[in-house]
Amino acid sequence: MFKKILIANRGEIAVRVMRACREMGISTVAVYSDVDRAALHVRKADEAYPIGPAQASESYLRVDKILDVAKRSGAEAIHPGYGFLSENARFAQACADAGIKFIGPTPQSMEMMGSKTRARQHMEKAGIPFVPGTARGLASPEEAEQVAERVGYPVMLKAAAGGGGKGMRLVHSRPELRQALESAQSEAQRSFGDSEVYIEKAIVNPRHIEMQILADEHGNTVWLGERECSIQRRHQKVLEEAPSPIVDADMRRRMGEVAVRVAQAANYTNAGTIEFLVDQQKNFYFLEMNTRLQVEHPVTELTTGLDLVHLQIKIASGEKLPFTQADVGIRGHAIECRIYAEDPDNNYFPSPGKIDVLLQPSGPGIRRDSGMYEGWTVPMDYDPLLAKLIGFGTDREQAIMRLERALYEYFVAGIKTNISLFRRILRDHDFRAGKLDTGFLDRMLAKADPGPTARAPEPRIAAIAAGMFAVLEPPAAGAKDGNAAATQPTASNWKERGRAEALR
Amino acid sequence: MFKKILIANRGEIAVRVMRACREMGISTVAVYSDVDRAALHVRKADEAYPIGPAQASESYLRVDKILDVAKRSGAEAIHPGYGFLSENARFAQACADAGIKFIGPTPQSMEMMGSKTRARQHMEKAGIPFVPGTARGLASPEEAEQVAERVGYPVMLKAAAGGGGKGMRLVHSRPELRQALESAQSEAQRSFGDSEVYIEKAIVNPRHIEMQILADEHGNTVWLGERECSIQRRHQKVLEEAPSPIVDADMRRRMGEVAVRVAQAANYTNAGTIEFLVDQQKNFYFLEMNTRLQVEHPVTELTTGLDLVHLQIKIASGEKLPFTQADVGIRGHAIECRIYAEDPDNNYFPSPGKIDVLLQPSGPGIRRDSGMYEGWTVPMDYDPLLAKLIGFGTDREQAIMRLERALYEYFVAGIKTNISLFRRILRDHDFRAGKLDTGFLDRMLAKADPGPTARAPEPRIAAIAAGMFAVLEPPAAGAKDGNAAATQPTASNWKERGRAEALR
Amino acid sequence: MVYDVMVSGKPHRLELEKVDAGWKCRLDGKEVHVDAVLPRRDVLSLLVDGHAYEVKREQTATDLHLWVGSTRFPVEVRDPRSLRARQGGAQDEKGPRKIVAPMPGRVVRLLVAEGAEVEAGQGIVVVEAMKMQNEIKSPKKGMVKKITASEGAAVNSGDVLAVVE
Amino acid sequence: MVYDVMVSGKPHRLELEKVDAGWKCRLDGKEVHVDAVLPRRDVLSLLVDGHAYEVKREQTATDLHLWVGSTRFPVEVRDPRSLRARQGGAQDEKGPRKIVAPMPGRVVRLLVAEGAEVEAGQGIVVVEAMKMQNEIKSPKKGMVKKITASEGAAVNSGDVLAVVE
């Protein structure tokens, strides 16, 4: 087993990986950019080294600097978390070249799954179900028409190099096709410098369901159940759950077996996720593979009773999987809310800044993986994910009720968060009924907010509270007291005190 | 289902029950004594009413006051938590008389199980295994000698009205018996006003293992697995786990079946616990029944995936158990640490007072049920239990590792707590090996503290930190900043500021 | 003490008087039984006629919101003795409107030039923060009088990016 | 700035000098690379030669302890400029010894009378707090010179209960 691991990440996932390391008796090495000196992952590490300015391209994405810290500190392995360098095959290769174990798949597996068309070509050979269409770019408008005729309208045009909706066109019927193709190709050229466009049958109101797999380095691969990830905004997942409300044991087994075949076809090792699109008839189609730990891995941990990060580390150190497929059982229901620093009242604009007040939930059935603390200033330079709140229950209803209770306890002031969005989602009729697809959230947000429930308090309580606050804790003094001490608190304290006193 | 429940308790258990109520959409009514106005359970309730002075006999034990609040607030049911009135049959009867549902068994069941000898007489009829001995008081020294001969030495003399070790004598051989009996009888007379003493075979190094049961009001009774509770100080449990390291599936089933027979013999309803003594040959003997929710119920919740408080409320409202014995599965391992306000460096003296700093653990596999918060003053009038930290893992080893990690994150200043005791227990060789009995903790504490581990930091770090604290946050100012605002903060703030400034 | 309190735009008059056991409270002329404790900064445990509320304070440079449970109320307190003047009224629909950065970030793109005619809701500037590009939109139909933002520049929350008239 | 710091009874000399990037630090004459941040009151994130420590401060009226991770160090800081005089030395084994309440509580029982001869470790007074009865013991063999505690009385932490000589 490793004695020391470098965590090439920040935020909640760095903290989560460090906790696993501490549990396993492994020392941790943090890296941090200039704006992250006071970040939680630095506080929690056994060693910590600066790697440059705020901009990720000059710090968290710098392969050379991270490997340099790994060598200096004597780390034997690197956990990349998610995002940043986690799916960068060059980084995995550079680790291997430096004799440092990359906790994840091989660079070869990552390469293979990194390009959508390349992955599709490999996987079609392995008999994996795909959305009907072409596995490569269209040579001509005529070919496009033929393929569209074959798979049936509506169809989706997609840029091979694509992502984020760019170079995508939904085509409902043949007369629209030619012009849509031209415009998709030119947009793809402008956006990615590559005009290659292919056709897929358009899935109407698809679900996004993914399957977790684990593979050791001795040829054993298992699936650990699916996650329902249909609730998205701007292609960003917001809330995930396990199991999916529509997947039964048979469908789970079939998806699991396909996922294992995908992993084996890619000679995959360590933790990975196979994403599927699922249509209204519950047919599932391979979409892509994520060659890393997912943000939403906790819902799988709660329903299987396993710790995926412990297992990632054990696999990377050469151990065999300590269980077989037959040992894996799914029990209960888990739902994750991604707490983002964004303003639900202002078009979900990001909201970095100082956290003045933080009240955090706990208690039965509640797991909190957080990268924030009261007094911390959330930098503007990174992903707005602050924390994950995960609710577990005997069944889906109880998981929902527990999350609602925990969200009630959660309070953040100083910056805006999307906590209130989850209250709306969890109350929504379609959500309660499990009627989900990737359009769910946009539809819900287009409706008027039903607003507070019947049990909502009256405004007069706020009026009384305002007076009591004014009497018991005047704002000027209150705002000061809670400040985390700066590096030179003396001078600034004096200044603020003067100000506070002048206000009286 | 009830619309409103009064929680006749305080501290972590009141908060835990209120959370369950909020999850089920039930309004909560808190009661509080004069020193508990700022307690967490009052903050978390929907309604809250004062019930008198600090002394429990004048507030939390006052049946009349609590029923009065229940009637005034329109509560339809009362959850008693543990301690206080939870095992008081008169209170349960008074609730019934007032038309308010007591969430627990009937007064008749509580009566039957409330006295040790009465319970023993009933249970012997039902064929429940007891430690060999007499079910009633000894008539003469001769009878004592005959019984002792029959069950075999060593034997234990016990006061029928007893508790807390009073009137108890361990007798190794016949020549000691007569004098021990006399002295036990006179001590029992002095302590309880009742000289009745009975004999039991002395179990050497027994384990204390208990079985959770649930019974609805329609005749269905199930067992939910055992808890190992052998780690005790002064007859007070300190750390509990589920499952027990020595109980296998067969023994679990046999204990469970006996527990269900006990409950059925007592016409028991709602949640209850059957305590067993287990000898070194794994024979188990009925000890007593606790007719309430146990402090340590979370370890059963984590290993079964059930919520016992939800189920208590459902049962009390007349619902049938939503599952059968065959549906109950035990998965993983859970360990609970009881965080007490007591000083491990000073003979475990209680340590009430103000909590100046509180850093609380979270993350994977960690559940925290707490009644404290930073800035709260722990009153000297009640039980020293502040919070429970529960670790869950795929197996016992992982549960231990996760708890060690979480204890590392836990920090309380201002009052003393027994957090460091758990670090010692979890590191102990016998504990790791699962070699537990009720003498474990006394033996461990009699040994010298092995002290910090090899990875402990050097004193020079403390020296540097002391200087940095002095520079960055002089103590006088620091002590002030964090104070929870008093009712009139203005005056005292001015005073303290003047003091802080004079020190510069 | 007398406070004029606006809650969600509606005025209330609150009279508080210190008495032995706590505070005597009259809201809009009606006596209310109130008991309040501050368990920590910015959190109030309030008992009003037996009902319990945990009230949280969210204070920014310009706004005050109080959360009662999980319901959020915009609140304005005018203490007759307060030195703070009331914030100016909402900006006029007519006349020039400043477009400000809603969060700290970096200007990555200008979408219109000075002098351009824009519709209400049309994007003016793109500001990037937390890996997201956010189109800052015109609040009204009109002419872009001035663009103060420049591509690549860092901006703070509240900085003026452009003016539309 | 120069500090004399006692850690677990051993003296250290710490020199701290404010420089551009942070603090220049010499411990017992040896230069150490130190970077410190206070993420919150009483918590220090300390980097010493790349090693990271979370240090927590536990301050009482009389004592200062620092927790480095989960190891607890008794610490005494003497700042030459400090106004606080050093605490008097440990009490002498000879001469009268005060027996003080280690926590707030209520005196429930006196176990000896004034004038009684007691052994070291013998119980003198029982104080109840948090539902537990706690025997307060004599720190030495000797004679109970005085008993100031009375049954039923409330006591605070540090109150003198008795004197043994």
A62 and A30 in a common domain: yes
A403 and A285 in a common domain: no
Instruction: Compute the mean pLDDT over every residue in chain A, rounded to the nearest whole number.
Output: 90
List, for residues A96-129, the tens digit of each pLDDT value: 999 999 999 999 999 998 777 778 888 888 889 9
The pLDDT value given to residue B504: 35
The CA distance from B241 to B246, in Å, is 11
List, for residues A257-274, the tens digit of each pLDDT value: 999 999 999 999 999 999
Task: List the subunits that have 3+ CB pairs under 8 angstroms with A.
Answer: B, C, D
DSSP-derived 3-state class of residue C96: coil
- Asked if the C-beta of B376 comes within 8 angstroms of chain C's C-beta atoms, the answer is yes
Q: Is the pLDDT of residue B478 over 60?
A: no
Task: Assess contact for A95 and A8: CB atoms under 8 A.
Answer: no
- To test the contact with chain B by mutation, choose from D26, D28, D71 the residue with the greatest count of B C-beta atoms within 10 A, namely D71
B38 and B161 in a common domain: no
Contacts of D134 in chain B (CB under 8 A): 347, 349-350
Q: H or E stretch including D73?
A: strand D71-78
D125 and D61 in a common domain: no
A239 and A304 in a common domain: yes
Structure tokens at C163: 């003016």
List, for residues A382-409, the tens digit of each pLDDT value: 999 999 999 999 999 999 999 999 999 9
Q: Is residue C138 part of a domain?
A: yes
- Asked if the C-beta of A30 comes within 8 angstroms of chain D's C-beta atoms, the answer is yes
Instruction: Report the gap between the CA of A418 and the closest CA in chain C (Å).
Output: 13
B419 and B353 in a common domain: yes
List, for residues A284-336, the tens digit of each pLDDT value: 999 899 999 999 999 999 999 999 999 999 999 999 999 999 999 999 999 99
Tell me phi and psi for residue B146, to 5 degrees.
Answer: -65, -45
Long-range contacts of D113-121 (CB under 8 A, 24+ apart): D113/D144, D113/D147, D114/D144, D114/D145, D114/D146, D114/D147, D115/D143, D115/D144, D116/D143, D116/D144, D117/D142, D117/D143, D117/D144, D118/D142, D118/D143, D118/D144, D118/D164
Q: What is the CA radius of gyration of chain A?
A: 25
C69 and C36 in a common domain: yes
C13 and C63 in a common domain: yes
C103 and C66 in a common domain: no
B165 and B36 in a common domain: no
Contacts of D47 in chain A (CB under 8 A): 42, 48
Would you call the peptide bond into A243 cis, given omega within 30 degrees of 0 as the criterion?
yes
The CA distance from A355 to B120, in Å, is 59
Domain that holds residue C58: 2-78
Q: Is residue C38 part of a domain?
A: yes
Task: Assess contact for B235 and B259: CB atoms under 8 A.
Answer: no
- To test the contact with chain D by mutation, choose from A487, A488, A490 the residue with the greatest count of D C-beta atoms within 10 A, namely A487
Q: Taking CA atoms, what residue in A is nearest to B454?
A: A25
A292 is catalytic: yes
For D17, other C-beta atoms within 10 Å of its C-beta total 10
Q: H or E stretch including A500?
A: helix A489-503
Cα–Cα nearest to B208, from B443, B436, B470: B436
Would you call the peptide bond into B245 cis, given omega within 30 degrees of 0 as the criterion?
no
Average of pLDDT values for D130-135? 85
The pLDDT value given to residue A501: 37
Instruction: Compute the mean pLDDT over every residue in chain B, rounded to the nearest whole number.
Output: 90
B177 and B237 in a common domain: no
Task: Assess contact for A77 and A100: CB atoms under 8 A.
Answer: yes
The rounded Cα B428 to chain-centroid distance in angstroms is 22
Q: Is residue D84 part of a domain?
A: no
**Chain D positions touching chain A (beta carbons under 8 Å):** 22, 35-41, 43, 45, 47, 50-52, 54
The pLDDT value given to residue B374: 97
Contacts of D45 in chain A (CB under 8 A): 37-38, 42-43
Single-letter amino acid, residue A470: A
Q: What global pTM score does this model have?
A: 0.90
Q: H or E stretch including B43?
A: helix B40-44
Structure tokens at B488: 């009139």
Q: Is residue C86 part of a domain?
A: no
- Which of these three, D78, D109, D135, is where a domain ends? D78
- Which of these three, A152, A186, A201, is where a domain ends? A201
Buried b / exposed e over A49-65, threshold 16 CB at 10 Å, is bbbbeeebeebbbbbeb
Q: Taking CA atoms, what residue in D is nearest to A377?
A: D39
The pLDDT value given to residue A478: 39
Structure tokens at B96: 């019934």
Q: Is the pLDDT of residue B158 over 80?
A: yes
Average of pLDDT values for D144-160? 91
Cα–Cα nearest to D37, from A373, B484, A416: A373
Calculated CA dihedral for residues D94, D99, D102, D108, nearest 10 degrees: 150
D102 and D50 in a common domain: no
pLDDT > 90 fraction of chain B, expressed in percent and rounded? 78
Among candidates A47, A49, A375 on the partner chain, residue whose Cβ is nearest the Cβ of D40 = A375
The CA distance from D133 to B350, in Å, is 9
Average of pLDDT values for B437-450? 92
D72 and D102 in a common domain: no
DSSP-derived 3-state class of residue B92: helix
- Which of these three, C14, C48, C78, is where a domain ends? C78
Q: Is residue D123 part of a domain?
A: yes
pLDDT tier at A452, thresholds 50, 70, 90: low
Q: What is the number of CB-based contacts under 8 A between chain B and chain C?
A: 43
Structure tokens at B10: 């305080």
B59 and B27 in a common domain: yes
List, for residues A175-218, the tens digit of each pLDDT value: 999 999 999 898 888 877 888 888 999 998 899 999 999 999 99
Indicate the angle between helix axes A249-265 and A116-125, nearest 10 degrees.
Answer: 110
- Which of these three, C51, C78, C105, is where a domain ends? C78
Average of pLDDT values for D29-52? 95
The pLDDT value given to residue C102: 84
Q: Is the pLDDT of residue B317 over 90?
A: yes
D6 and D73 in a common domain: yes
Instruction: For residue D122, give the CATH number of its domain.
Output: 2.40.50.100
* Sign of the CA dihedral with B258 first, then B262, B265, and B269 last: negative
The CA distance from B348 to B195, in Å, is 32
Which residues are bridge partners to B170 per DSSP?
B156
Chains A and C touch (3+ CB pairs under 8 A): yes
The pLDDT value given to residue D80: 60
C63 and C13 in a common domain: yes
Among candidates A37, A47, A486 on the partner chain, residue whose Cβ is nearest the Cβ of D50 = A47
Give 3-state DSSP helix, strand, coil % of chain D, rounded to 5.
0, 60, 40
- Which of these three, A179, A201, A223, is where a domain ends? A201
Strands C51-59 and C97-100: unpaired
The pLDDT value given to residue A495: 34
D70 and D121 in a common domain: no
Cα–Cα nearest to B410, from B334, B347, B485, B340: B340
Average of pLDDT values for A54-61? 96
Contacts of C37 in chain B (CB under 8 A): 37-38, 487
Contact A352 C103 (CB under 8 A): yes
- Which of these three, A201, A220, A246, is where a domain ends? A201
The larger pLDDT score, comparing residue A456 to residue B73, is at B73
Distance separating the N- and C-terminal Cα atoms of chain C: 44
Task: Work out how many domains chain A is built from and give that number.
Answer: 5
Cα–Cα nearest to A421, from A449, A393, A446, A385: A449
Would you call the peptide bond into A50 cis, given omega within 30 degrees of 0 as the criterion?
no
Q: Is the pLDDT of residue B195 over 90?
A: no
Tokens 């990268």 correspond to: A371
Task: Work out how many domains chain D is built from and give that number.
Answer: 2
C132 and C156 in a common domain: yes
- To test the contact with chain B by mutation, choose from D57, D63, D106 the residue with the greatest count of B C-beta atoms within 10 A, namely D57
Tell me phi and psi for residue D102, to 5 degrees.
Answer: -80, -10
Average of pLDDT values for B67-93? 97
The CA distance from D41 to B358, in Å, is 11
Contact D130 B382 (CB under 8 A): yes
Question: DSSP string of D1-43?
Answer: -EEEEEETTEEEEEEEEE-SSSEEEEETTEEEEEEEEEEETTE
Calculated CA dihedral for residues B5, B9, B10, B13, nearest 10 degrees: -80
Instruction: Compute the mean pLDDT over every residue in chain C, rounded to the nearest whole number.
Output: 87
Instruction: For residue C35, give the CATH number of its domain.
Output: 3.30.700.30
Q: Is the pLDDT of residue C84 over 50?
A: no
Tell me phi and psi for residue D161, to 5 degrees.
Answer: -100, -35
Q: What is the number of CB-based contacts under 8 A between chain A and chain D?
A: 47
Instruction: Report the gap between the CA of C49 and the closest CA in chain A (Å).
Output: 11
Contact D38 A489 (CB under 8 A): yes
Domain that holds residue A465: 459-503
B117 and B52 in a common domain: no
3-state secondary structure A422-462: HHHHHHCHHHHCCCCCCCHHHHHHHCCCCCCCCCCCCHHHH
B486 and B414 in a common domain: no
The rounded Cα A84 to chain-centroid distance in angstroms is 12
Q: Is the pLDDT of residue A496 over 70?
A: no
A444 and A347 in a common domain: yes
Instruction: Compute the mean pLDDT over every residue in chain D, rounded to the nearest whole number.
Output: 87
A386 and A430 in a common domain: yes
List, for residues B222-279, the tens digit of each pLDDT value: 999 999 999 999 888 999 999 999 999 999 999 999 999 999 999 999 999 999 999 9
Instruction: For residue A49, give the CATH number of its domain.
Output: 3.40.50.20
The CA distance from D43 to D165, in Å, is 43
Among candidates A413, A459, A468 on the partner chain, residue whose Cβ is nearest the Cβ of C58 = A413
Q: Is the pLDDT of residue B65 over 90?
A: yes
